[in-house]
Structure 1
Amino acid sequence: MDAVSPQPAPELAPVRPVLAEAVELARAALVELGEGEVGAHLGVTFEDESAATHRFDARLPGYRGWQWAVVLAAVPDSDHVTVSELALLPGPDALIAPDWLPWDERIRAGDLTPGGLLPPRVDDVRLVPGYVATGDPVVDDLALEVGLGRKQVLSLEGRLEAAERWRTGEYGPDSEMAKAAPSTCEMCGFYLPLAGSLRVAFGVCGNELAADGHVVYAEYGCGAHSDTELPTGAGSAQFEAYDDGAVEVVALPAPVVVVEEDPASTD
C-alpha cells in the first residue's frame, strides 16, 4: 500500500478479507460515477467489523492531492459486499482552499485605495470616546484648538498596538538599515517627535532623501543622519591619478629591414 494517509489507531485494525479484497468493486463504483479518471489504489482502512474504506488517487483537474473514498459494507459472516458511500476527500498533500474569513477581516494593510470607505470595526477596542461638544462656542472653540474636537481617540490598547507595529516594522531598531546606521534618529536634526505619550519613542522623519514622512522609532537610524560626515582626504594613495586627457609618448624600436637575395644573381 503506497502513499496511504496517516490514520487514527482504531482504523489500523485488520480489515476483513472479504472487504479488503473488493478493490475492483470499489473502482467500478467510481467509474460508474463518471466524474473522471480513477487513479491508483492507495489502500484500505478499517471502519468497523462490517465496513471498510478504499482510497484511490483522484485525477481531477484542480484537485491535486485529493482522494476518492469508497465505503464498502458486508454483514458479519457474509461474503456479499455492497457499496455504501462515495466521497471526494483531501489527502495529506491536497491543495485546498484557505479558511473562510468574514468580509470585514479580509482587508489588509495597503488594500485601501482612493475613494474607498473603511469604517472601524464594531466596538473597536482601539478607539474610545473623545470630547463631546457642549454647545458653548467659547468652550468648543478652545476644545478644537487643543485637539479635543474628535468624537473618538486612540485608547491605550490602540496606542500600544500601533507602537508595537511601528517598532517591529521597516523603520524599527531591528531593521537592516538601523543595524548599519552610524547613529540613531533621536539624535538627528531631521527627527520630528510625535505628540502625547508616543513622543517618548517615536517621531516622523523630515529628510526627503531618507524615510521622509514615515513614523520612525527613536533608535532607528540611516546613513542620511544630520551629523553624517563624508570621509576626508583626496582619495586613495594606493594608485596614481589617471588623466585620460593626457597624451603619452612611447618610443618604439626602429624596424629591422630584411633584404632577400635574388637567386639569379648567384649564377
Structure 2
Amino acid sequence: MSPLSGKVALVTGASRGIGRATALALAKDGANVVVNYVSSAAAADEVVSEIGPDHAIAVQADVSKREDITRLIKTTVDRFGKIDILVLNAGLLWQKGGLLSITEEDFDKLFAANVRSPLFTVQEAVPHLADGGRVMLFSTSLAAFSGVTPNYLLYTASKGAVEQITRVLAKDLGRRGITVNTIAPGPIGTDAYFVGKTEQMVQLQSNLAPMGRLGKPEEVANVVCFIASDQSQWVNGQTIRINGFIYLNFRRMNLGMIILFMKLQRCGEIKPSTINHAF
C-alpha cells in the first residue's frame, strides 16, 4: 500500500514550482490532492490531469483573502470529506529598498500573503483536519541567516513570524496528534526563481552551495512527503531547512563576492519580484 493511501492533501500555490512538485509527489505516494491556484488555471489543470481527475481537483482561491480561504476549505471537504495534510506553500517573495522605502501598503500586502494567509487557512481547516494530521507552513532559509541580504526586511520578518506561529500551533494541536512544521527551502531552481536575476547572480548563488548548484523542487517535495507520512510522527514544531548548506557557506564566502551581490542589487540588476516561494 502507498504510504499516503486514503489521505487528502491540500496544497496552496500548487500550479507551479515547489507547489506543483509537491502536489505531484503527494499524489504519487497515494494521496488525493487539492491543487490551489490564484490565476494559472491552465497550469493547475495540467497538474490535475497528470494526477488523474479521480484523485485531484483544482480550486481557484486567493488565500490572502479570508472569504477565499473559507471557500477553498469548503470545496475540499465537499469533494473529499476531510483534510489530512495541509501544505501552505503560497506566498510572496518581495525584495524592495531599505527601511525608509517601505510603505504601509507594502507591509499589509506582504503580511497578508505570508502571515495572515497560513494562519487563517489553518484556523479554517482545523475543524476538518483529521486527528494525526499534518500541517506544513513555508518559510525560507534566509530567516536563519544572520547576514541577511539587503532589502529583504519585510520578507524575512514575515517568515520569522511564520516560524513562531508554527511552534505555537505545534503545542496547541499536538494533543490531537497533529504535527505542525515549517519547510524552509534555500534557493530552488524554479521558473519563478530566475525572474529578475542575471546569469551572474544565479551562478553566484549556485557557487555558495558545497554541491555547486541550486536545489530542485522535487527535493523539497520529497521532504514534504516524509513529513506527511506516518514515519514523521515525532517531528513537530520544527523548521526544516532544505538548502544544501548554502547559507552557512554564505558566511564564509570572500568579501569580493559579497560586494558583487550587493552591487547587483543596488544597480537594479536584481529586480523586485512578487512570486511564489523560490528563494
Give the TM-score category using the shorter length. Answer: under 0.3
Higher helix share: 2
**TM-score of the pair, normalised by structure 1:** 0.20
Q: Which has the larger radius of gyration?
A: 1
Bigger relative contact order (CA 8 A; separation at least 6): 2
**TM-score of the pair, normalised by structure 2:** 0.19
Higher strand share: 1
